[in-house]
Structure 1
Amino acid sequence: MFNSWMIIGGVTFLVALGGSLIRPRDVSWGLRLDRPRWLFFEPAIPVIWTVIFACGAISATLVWQAEPGSPKTWLLMGFYLLVELITVAYIPLTLRLRSLKVGTVLGGIGVLLGFVLALTVLPSSGLATLLLVPYAIWSPIGTYTTGQMIELNPDAG
């Protein structure tokens, strides 16, 4: 009927759509914020996150295929989902609450959970762990950037 990659990919896509739950007035607040001068690659960030989410979905599929339906695998799928939910919540909550501190905290939680997920997945699949490396690299960059933006926009902290 449905292959595991279809279900995992579909869930990943639906959760990622949650990042678009933002109001226009929230977006305008975010656009007015000062950014670090070195943030020249900002237009590429949506593409970067799309690749990261795709890698995460493939990673989850590999983990599922290693032990389909086992209690351990279901727990790992829940862990993948938690990491994605935290990651996707970053933009809507930061903008809605107009707080870069909220974004920094969410980013930090995502970094921590991403590393724990990668270590937890390692016994199941080395390749699945390798596919989490883009998240492990990019998530701290985003969190650091948000922290830098607090310094540039103290009233938005």
Structure 2
Amino acid sequence: MIKSWMVIGAVTFVVALGASFLRPKDIKWFGRLQRPRWLTFEALIPIIWTIIFICGAWSAYIVWEKNPGTSYTWFLMAFYLVVEIAIVLYSPVMLWTRSLKIGTIIGGVGVVLGLILTLLVLPISGWAALLLVPYLLWGPIGTYTTWEMSRLNPESA
């Protein structure tokens, strides 16, 4: 029998792969952009996102196990999926459009959706809500960084 954690983990992994649909020319464009001097942690960003996705999947698993199969739990699973899709769309859409402004908007929307999800999950499980905190902390940092980069690179805003 397939366990719920396997399904949640597989969906998380497959959706996260969407962030890898990047063209080399877009990565090159992004690499040439000027960054804020305080952005010294760029090499850690893939690790940070990996932790965030694992925490999000674990949170979804906890919520599912509290009330498996109910319509509200399915709604929450769909909401988790929407938040992850918003997160994953950030890089490809920003790079394809070469617009840091669009990246800032997508990042901001993702943060708001993550906050709503956390508030919906909190009454079900404090642990599940706590596992969403890494995203609630990192999302604004990433969004602010993109906004700051748009100020430093007005031709790419």
TM-score under structure 2 normalisation? 0.99
Q: Following the alignment from structure 1 to structure 2, what is the Cα–Cα distance between the partners of residues 101 and 77?
A: 29
- 1:68 maps to a residue whose letter is P
Which residue in 2 is equivalent to 1:41? 41
* Corresponding position of 1:60: 60
| Pairwise CA distance, 1:123 | 1.0
Gaps of 5+ in 2: none
Once the two structures are superposed, residues 63-94 of structure 1 have per-residue CA deviations (whole angstroms, 9 ceiling, x without a partner) of 00000000000000000000000000000000
Q: How does 1:64-75 map to 2 (within 5 A)?
A: 64-75=64-75
Matching residue of 1:130: 130
Aligned twin of 1:105: 105
Residue identity opposite 1:115 in structure 2:
L
Measured in 2, the distance between the counterparts of 1:12 and 1:102 equals: 24
Please provide the CA RMSD for this pair: 0.4
1: CA distance, partners of 2:101 / 2:150: 7
SS across alignment from 2:63: helix
Counterpart in the other structure of 2:81? 81
Distance in 2 (alpha carbons) for counterparts of 1:125 and 1:70: 16
What secondary structure, in the 3-state scheme, does the structure 2 residue paired with 1:40 have?
A: coil
Q: 1:4 aligns to what?
A: 4
Match for residue 146 of structure 1?
146
For residue 27 of structure 1, report the CA deviation from its aligned partner. Answer: 0.6
**Structure 1: 5+ residue stretches without partners:** none
- Match of 1:68, SS state, is coil
Supply the distance in 2 between the matched residues of 1:75 and 1:155 (Cα, whole angstroms).
Answer: 41
How far off is 1:144 after superposition?
0.3
Partner of 1:116: 116
**Could you list the runs of 4 or more consecutive aligned residues of structure 1 that deviate by over 4 angstroms after TM superposition?**
none
The aligned counterpart of 1:31 is 31
If the length of structure 1 is used for normalisation, what is the TM-score? 0.99
Partner of 1:156: 156
Q: Give the distance between the partners of 1:113 and 1:46, measured in 2 at CA.
A: 21
Question: How many residues get paired?
Answer: 157
The whole-number CA distance in structure 2 between the counterparts of 1:55 and 1:46 is 14
Tell me, in whole angstroms, the C-alpha distance in 2 between the residues paired with 1:22 and 1:141: 22
Q: Which residue identity lines up with residue 147 of structure 1 in the other structure?
A: W
Aligned position for 2:22: 22
User: Identity rate of aligned residues, in percent?
Assistant: 60
